[in-house]
Structure 1
Amino acid sequence: MVKPERNVSEKEIKYGEKDWERLKKFRKEAEELLEILNQFNISGLVHGSVARGDVDKNSDIDVIIPDPVPSFKVELALKENGYKNLDRKIVMATPWQLPKAHIYLRDKKMVTIPLKKPKKLEEEFYKFGGAASLSQIKEGKRTPGVDKRLILIEPIEKGHRERQVIGKENEVAKILGVSIEIVEERVHVLTKREEIGRTGIFLEKELTPKESFEEAWRQIVKNNPQITKRGS
């Protein structure tokens, strides 16, 4: 488990040739995936290190769709572009948080669809971690965001700058253009997780090939009394 870092001195990380080549490769694959969705009028964002630029060999390509869309449109777009036999799960961290449809692709790629309208903090979650649109990827723009260590990654010409988030929540919120509430919420969650260990998630359901996300979600809500009105 990656732990939050404290008392970290601000520093600049300079990328070498291999770092830039790796980033270019990841971003090209992300751009291709976003283009596939865009052809079906589905707007997506790439989230995390690929948006920020601080990728390593173990990085994933996480594409999120900010607002609910019919899942069949997303799956059709993927299948018509060579992604077959998709692994699909519904994931919910707690009974009151956003239920998400996860579509797992080959080569460590994932597409996430919200199954309900996200609340403000849930929308800001992705911007907090760094999110880039198709146009930003095409233009070579990198976006600032916070990694799992609670370190702010700010892109600079030669690489990126790192600074700690804990104790500088207001400053970080301004840099990211998000509310102080999302910064404080993520600091609370990740530092609490460090104290008590990973607590797991409330719900993780793998779908059969014939199930739609929407149908499976309706059944989950019907059969699970722990889910609050958020799930109805």
Structure 2
Amino acid sequence: MEALESLNLRCIAHGSIARGDVTEKSDVDIFIPSPPSSFMVETALEQNGMPINRRIIVQATPSYAIKAYIEIEENVSVSFPLVKLRPLEREFYKFGGEISLEELKRNIRVPGVDKRLMLIEPTADGHIESSIIGREEYAARLLGVSVDIVWDRVKALTRRDEIGRTGVFLERELSPEESFELVLKRLADKNPAVRRRMKASEK
């Protein structure tokens, strides 16, 4: 995060690292909310000696924002949107728990909801877990998000439990000589769904 912020790339850590319910298998997910220049992101990482192992473009569904993922290690990644996020897409990160670099340095932990739809509330010596099912409005107030994102995640994760993980709409790994912006343009030329989502973000 310090590497990114050194080039004025404001970022957040999200998920278990923000909530404090980390295990040895926990992922370290860093997210840059505002679409940056991918060159700047890669430069920041490389200047600080961080290897770029894989670069992937992902679009979860035809209507979701297209995002770039840079894998540094097996469980460490930096991601950022390639189009402007809708308000609900931005709230997704706050729903799961997010902290800034400054908050991370001060050992601050925040409440958030995990993939089991369990609300994780940090305490002085650990955390408390409770289901958000039937308590959606309370969870929204506590997390400072709209109830719409809570219902959206409940619907998505409940459906995943019922029918299993269905995969993502689009996933494209980049070769070493390709840039995210160039590949996105090529995908937009070929794929109407990508084109539509890019146009929607320009409004």
TM-score (norm: length of structure 2)? 0.95
Partner residue, 1:102: 69
What letter corresponds to residue 149 of structure 1 in structure 2?
R
RMSD: 1.0
Work out which of the residue numbers 46, 50, 56 in structure 1 matches 2:23. 56
Work out which of the residue numbers 129, 145, 149 in structure 1 matches 2:116. 149
Structure 1 residue ranges, 4+ long, deviating more than 6 angstroms after superposition: none
SS at match of 2:194: coil
- Asked if the contact 2:52–2:71 (Cα under 8 Å) also holds between the matched residues in 1, the reply is no
Structure 1 CA distance, aligned partners of 2:53 and 2:47?
12
1:34-183 alignment, distance < 5 Å: 34-106=1-73, 108-183=75-150
Structure 1 CA distance, aligned partners of 2:51 and 2:123?
38
Q: CA deviation at 1:226?
A: 3.7
Partner residue, 1:31: none
- Asked if the contact 1:63–1:111 (Cα under 8 Å) also holds between the matched residues in 2, the reply is yes
Partner residue, 2:164: 197
Structure 2 CA distance, aligned partners of 1:82 and 1:193?
38
Structure 1 CA distance, aligned partners of 2:113 and 2:98?
10
- Asked if the contact 1:65–1:113 (Cα under 8 Å) also holds between the matched residues in 2, the reply is yes
Structure 2 CA distance, aligned partners of 1:229 and 1:65?
23
What letter corresponds to residue 148 of structure 1 in structure 2?
K
What letter corresponds to residue 126 of structure 2 in structure 1?
G
Partner residue, 2:179: 212
Q: CA deviation at 1:126?
A: 0.2
Structure 2 CA distance, aligned partners of 1:94 and 1:150?
21
Structure 2 CA distance, aligned partners of 1:66 and 1:112?
9
TM-score (norm: length of structure 1)? 0.84
Is there any run of 5+ residues in structure 1 with no aligned partner, and where? Answer: 1-33
SS at match of 1:221: helix
Structure 2 CA distance, aligned partners of 1:195 and 1:72?
40
- Count of residue pairs brought into register by the alignment: 199
Q: CA deviation at 1:84?
A: 3.1
What letter corresponds to residue 67 of structure 2 in structure 1?
K
Q: CA deviation at 1:107?
A: 5.1
Q: CA deviation at 1:224?
A: 1.2
Partner residue, 1:16: none
Q: CA deviation at 1:195?
A: 1.2
Is there any run of 5+ residues in structure 2 with no aligned partner, and where? Answer: none
Percent of matched pairs sharing the same residue: 50
